[in-house]
């Protein structure tokens, strides 16, 4: 069962309108150390790196993904 | 004579200026009062390219070169002379960045061959990326072999005589077309710089437009060549930056520690300094001399480099280099190349500080030279740390470390932004583009560059950046500008809530980014080029960098490197505003070419506006014009229709 969340906060929306939003309900935590934020650790071997290059940096390293520049003849 | 409170918005700087004054120490701030800029040189009207001159081509008071023609002895007109001087500045800036890039390529090769102990490939992913860029086979080959090939391919870019630089291919296709059409694609880095010096020699290229076109080619050889090589190969050697917490201001110096400051630009040595300072033997030596430990801090771009990779604190930006010594606790200041004031040994004489030069390209009278070579780098670093430890017991004079110290987050490489916005599953600039399209983020601005004592230190950077983020413009930064804003507390995620407009703040809160993003040192402006390209390729914001709601600025610039950077921003399609002074005002014709004529050629132009708020307004106006052209000038919230609304629609 969900507990009722009481904390509410007033915020200004991007267009200037005041809105009421749910306030923070998390336990304040502490960063778990520099290494935790190191996303490169998720790439374990060369194959994974090359695979990630083809998705993460697909516009440069993937043969079939040109994003907004999809065209038959490259410049 | 200005009050110290008018010289800087940084309280630590003001405090140390007072100390310097009391102790009779000369600094750039005070020298700027005594040495006035030469009015003829300042507006670019002085040519000293041959011994028939120097010719000072002064126009009659109140006249412009559009009405009258004055020439040098050889007949060179004001616009030719202005264009020549401008091209020479670009060439010098590009040479500085590129020589830095070359040193990194040489170190990578030496490291991969096992000839540079202490260095190794730290980022295999980045190496793979470069191997693909240079068309080098990867397969199962040993990492060292690939690194040697990548290093050699990078090195070959400097001496290449024909063809095109490899990284040009990374730019948006439309931009490449523009460069091809104009014939400004750089062939080889050194070649373009040499040709710039040739063209500007007496009696060679005497057409301002032709000189400017070559200036574009040289600048592109910097941004998409030398600088990009520097950035990318440093990432391979030292790791691609990821967000990291740092501290800034002279308050990071520790009175009870041996303090070593690394200053300059190349992180090759400073990386080793970090290792040497952690060496147990060195720590024991420091303790034996009565110190609690060894504290390494940085100034200028070296600071940015080691901060982004090791979290080493920053003692200050360009104009704080002398003041760091004035604290009385700097035992050694180690310098390599670029932005190092010749006054340092003189300032150091008033204290116990050792000034140590380390590059064979940069010697300073009065400094100790401990030359650094990559094959023996750790030993050189140890010798430097030892010199600092020896100096520690000889501290003289009053110690005063301003208590100011500010936390901030740095280390946003293009790759990390890509990852932060899209995660591992689909790294992407999509959320950024979407938020620009929906109007929460109005646009993006790159605010970069130096400090200049001709304006109030840091004030112009901070005022401009605050104005931009207040108006929902996300700011990307490098160099001393990033350090200035870090000191002002703008580089933390919390700054979004305090200083940014509602839309930008909302996005920053969602993705946990600061509203001002520190992307590195001056050579790392190439990261901004890649971020802009990624935004184009992601789609929805036009098909060229010039279509993006984006602008660039260097509001406190002083270095020739800044002119080169500005020119490659413009040549890449970014509207770019400079402050402080403008080096071509002596020729209205040439200045018009830069401020208006370029638009037709590269769809971007230069502008000059010393007032930071007005400059920010110009940038915002440009951003708004681009939004309008893209048809995204009205904020559109996505509306989820319910049944009633649908019925209403159908009834229409
Ligand atoms: S090149 Fe021409 S303008 Fe320049 S110093 Fe010589 S004579 Fe004078
Ligand atoms: S921003 Fe300018 S002053 Fe600062 S380190 Fe770079 S070139 Fe030097």
Distance CA B353, CA B333 (A): 7
Distance CA B486, CA B480 (A): 10
- Cα-based distances in Å from B89 to B86, B95, B583: 5, 10, 10
Question: If pLDDT is split at 50, 70 and 90, which confidence band does B36 have?
Answer: very high
Cβ distance of B418 and A40 shorter than 8 Å: no
Stretch B594-612: mean pLDDT, rounded?
Answer: 97
Q: Which atom of ligand 1 is nearest to the CA of B53?
A: 5
The residue whose two tokens read 């002119």 is B563
Q: Which residue has the higher pLDDT, B30 or B2?
A: B30
Exposure letters B625-643 (e unless 16+ CB within 10 A, then b): ebbeebebeeeeeeeeeee
Estimate the share of chain A in helix, then strand, then coil, as percent rounded to the nearest 5. Answer: 35, 15, 50
At B201 the three-state DSSP class reads coil
- Pairing mode of beta strands A8-12, A18-22: antiparallel
- Locate the DSSP E strands across B34-177: 46-47, 55-56
Pick from B552, B466, B587: nearest CA to B516: B466
Pick from B410, B448, B414, B405: nearest CA to B304: B410
Contact yes or no for B589/B65 (Cβ under 8 A): yes
Distance CA B411, CA B571 (A): 26
Stretch B450-464: mean pLDDT, rounded?
Answer: 97
Q: Is B543 on the interface with A (CB under 8 A)?
A: yes
Cβ distance of A37 and B129 shorter than 8 Å: no
Give residue-wise pLDDT tens across range B144-162: 999 999 999 999 999 999 9
For residue B262, the distance in angstroms to the closest alpha carbon of chain A comes to: 23
Give residue-wise pLDDT tens across range B270-326: 888 989 999 999 999 999 999 999 999 999 988 888 888 888 999 999 999 999 999
The residue whose two tokens read 């940015």 is B304
Question: Which tokens go with B158?
Answer: 């400097």
Task: Kindly report the length of chain A.
Answer: 75
pLDDT of residue A1: 46
For residue A2, the distance in angstroms to the closest alpha carbon of chain B comes to: 24
Pick from B563, B565, B575: nearest CA to B606: B575
Distance in angstroms between the alpha carbons of the first and the last residue of chain A = 59
Estimate the share of chain B in helix, then strand, then coil, as percent rounded to the nearest 5. Answer: 55, 10, 35
Cβ distance of B537 and A68 shorter than 8 Å: yes
Residue B474 pairs in a beta bridge with: B444
Is the pLDDT at A2 greater than 70? The verdict is no
The residue whose two tokens read 């307004």 is B617
Q: Which atom of ligand 2 is nearest to the CA of B304?
A: 5
Tell me, in angstroms, the distance from the centre of ligand 2 to residue B560's CA: 10
Question: If pLDDT is split at 50, 70 and 90, which confidence band does B226 have?
Answer: very high
Stretch B461-468: mean pLDDT, rounded?
Answer: 98
Q: What is the DSSP letter of B603?
A: S
Residue B183 has a CB neighbour count (10 Å cut-off) of 10
* B71 within ligand 1 shell (Cβ under 6 A): no
- Cα-based distances in Å from B246 to B313, B487, B546: 6, 11, 34
Question: If pLDDT is split at 50, 70 and 90, which confidence band does A4 have?
Answer: low
| Farthest CA pair distance, chain B | 89
Dihedral-angle region of residue B24 (phi above 0 means left; psi in -120 to 50 means alpha; beta otherwise):
left
Contact yes or no for B435/B531 (Cβ under 8 A): no
Cβ distance of A68 and B506 shorter than 8 Å: no
Question: Which tokens go with B99?
Answer: 């020589």
ipTM: 0.84
Q: Is B1 on the interface with A (CB under 8 A)?
A: no
Stretch B626-640: mean pLDDT, rounded?
Answer: 79
Q: Which atom of ligand 2 is nearest to the CA of B558?
A: 2
Question: If pLDDT is split at 50, 70 and 90, which confidence band does B210 have?
Answer: very high
Question: If pLDDT is split at 50, 70 and 90, which confidence band does B404 have?
Answer: confident
pLDDT of residue A27: 72
- Cα-based distances in Å from B401 to B6, B13, B251, B291: 21, 11, 6, 16
Residue closest by Cα to atom 2 of ligand 1: B74
Residue closest by Cα to atom 6 of ligand 1: B50
Residues of B within 8 A of A39 (CB-CB) are 242, 416, 419, 424
Closest CB from B138, B540, B543 relative to A69: B543
The residue whose two tokens read 């990492």 is B143
The residue whose two tokens read 């670009």 is B90
The H or E element containing residue B455 is none
Residues of A within 8 A of B439 (CB-CB) are 14
Pick from B216, B242, B209, B207: nearest CA to B94: B216
pLDDT of residue A66: 58
pLDDT of residue A43: 84
Q: Is B124 on the interface with A (CB under 8 A)?
A: yes
Taking the CA atoms of residue B84, residue B90, residue B93 and residue B97 in that order, the dihedral angle to the nearest 10 degrees is -140
Pick from B462, B461, B479: nearest CA to B561: B479
B54: cis peptide before it, omega within 30°? yes
Distance CA B30, CA B13 (A): 13
* B82 within ligand 1 shell (Cβ under 6 A): no
Ligand nearest to the CA of B77: 1
Q: Which residue has the higher pLDDT, B499 or A75?
A: B499
For residue A20, the distance in angstroms to the closest alpha carbon of chain B comes to: 14
Please tell me which residue of chain A has the smallest CA distance to B439.
A14
Beta-carbon contacts of B611 under 8 Å, excluding residues fewer than 6 positions away, are B579
Task: Kindly report the length of chain B.
Answer: 652
Contact yes or no for B308/B408 (Cβ under 8 A): no
List the helix and strand counts (H, then E) for chain B.
28, 16
Cβ distance of A59 and B440 shorter than 8 Å: no
- Pairing mode of beta strands B606-608, B575-578: parallel
- Cα-based distances in Å from B578 to B224, B380, B466, B483, B563: 21, 39, 17, 18, 9
Is the pLDDT at B19 greater than 70? The verdict is yes
């Amino acid at each position: 069962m969900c507990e009722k969340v009481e904390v509410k906060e007033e915020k200004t929306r991007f267009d200037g309108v005041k809105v009421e939003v749910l306030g923070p309900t998390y336990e304040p935590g502490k960063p778990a150390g520099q290494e935790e934020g190191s996303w490169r650790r998720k790439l374990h071997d060369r194959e994974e790196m090359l695979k990630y290059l083809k998705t993460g940096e697909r516009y440069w390293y993937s043969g079939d993904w040109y994003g907004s520049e999809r065209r038959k003849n490259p410049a | 004579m200005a009050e110290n409170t008018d010289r800087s918005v940084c309280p630590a700087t003001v405090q140390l200026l007072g100390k310097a004054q009391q102790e009779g120490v000369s600094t750039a701030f005070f020298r700027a009062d005594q040495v006035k800029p030469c009015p003829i040189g300042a507006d670019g009207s002085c040519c000293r390219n041959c011994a028939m001159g120097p010719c000072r081509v002064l126009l009659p008071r109140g006249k412009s070169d559009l009405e009258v023609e004055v020439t040098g002895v050889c007949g060179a007109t004001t616009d030719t002379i202005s264009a020549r001087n401008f091209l020479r500045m670009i060439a010098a800036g590009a040479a500085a960045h590129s020589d830095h890039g070359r040193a990194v390529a040489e170190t990578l090769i030496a490291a991969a061959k096992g000839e540079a102990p202490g260095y190794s490939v730290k980022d295999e992913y980045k190496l793979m990326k470069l191997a693909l860029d240079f068309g080098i086979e990867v397969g199962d080959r040993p990492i060292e072999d690939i690194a040697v090939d990548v290093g050699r391919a990078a090195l070959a870019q400097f001496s290449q005589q024909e063809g095109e630089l490899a990284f040009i291919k990374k730019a948006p296709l439309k931009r490449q077309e523009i460069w091809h059409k104009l014939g400004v694609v750089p062939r080889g880095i050194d070649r373009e710089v040499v040709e710039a010096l040739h063209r500007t020699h007496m009696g060679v290229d005497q057409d301002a437009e032709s000189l400017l076109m070559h200036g574009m080619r040289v600048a592109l050889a910097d941004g998409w060549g030398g600088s990009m090589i520097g950035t990318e190969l440093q990432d391979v050697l030292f790791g691609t930056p990821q967000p990291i917490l740092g501290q800034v201001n002279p308050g990071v110096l520790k009175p009870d520690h041996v303090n070593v400051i690394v200053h300059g630009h190349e992180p090759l040595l400073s990386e080793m300094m970090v290792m040497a300072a952690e060496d147990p033997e060195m720590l024991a030596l420091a303790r034996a001399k009565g110190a609690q430990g060894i504290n390494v801090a940085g100034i200028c771009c070296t600071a940015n480099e080691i901060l982004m990779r090791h979290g080493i604190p920053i003692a200050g930006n360009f104009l704080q280099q002398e003041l760091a010594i004035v604290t009385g606790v700097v035992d050694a200041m180690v310098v390599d190349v670029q932005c190092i004031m010749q006054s340092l040994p003189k300032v150091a004489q008033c204290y116990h500080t050792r000034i140590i030069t380390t590059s064979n390209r940069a010697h300073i009278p009065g400094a100790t030279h401990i030359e650094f070579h990559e094959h023996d780098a750790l030993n050189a670093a140890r010798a430097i740390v030892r010199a600092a430890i020896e100096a520690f017991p000889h501290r003289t004079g009053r110690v005063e470390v301003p208590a100011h110290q500010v936390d901030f987050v740095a280390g946003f490489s293009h790759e990390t932004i890509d990852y932060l916005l899209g995660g591992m599953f689909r790294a992407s600039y999509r959320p950024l583009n979407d938020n620009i399209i929906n109007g929460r983020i109005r646009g993006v601005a790159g605010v970069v560059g130096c400090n200049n004592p001709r304006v109030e230190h840091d004030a112009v950077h901070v005022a401009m950046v605050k104005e931009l983020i207040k108006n929902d413009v996300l700011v990307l930064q490098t160099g001393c500008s990033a350090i200035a804003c870090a000191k002002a507390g703008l580089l933390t995620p919390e700054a979004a809530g305090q200083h940014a407009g509602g839309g930008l703040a909302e996005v920053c809160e969602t993705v946990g980014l600061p509203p001002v993003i520190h992307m590195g040192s001056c050579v790392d402006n190439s990261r901004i080029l890649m971020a802009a390209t990624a935004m184009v390729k992601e789609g929805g914001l036009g098909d060229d960098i010039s279509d993006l709601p984006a602008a660039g600025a260097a509001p406190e610039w002083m270095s020739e490197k800044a002119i080169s950077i500005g020119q490659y921003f413009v040549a890449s399609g970014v509207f770019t505003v400079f402050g402080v002074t403008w080096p071509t005002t002596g020729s209205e014709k040439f200045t018009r070419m830069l401020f208006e004529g370029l638009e037709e050629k590269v769809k971007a132009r230069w502008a000059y506006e010393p007032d930071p708020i007005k400059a920010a307004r110009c940038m915002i106006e440009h951003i708004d014009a681009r939004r309008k052209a893209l048809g995204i000038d009205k904020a559109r919230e996505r509306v989820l229709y319910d049944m009633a609304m649908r019925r209403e629609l159908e009834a229409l």
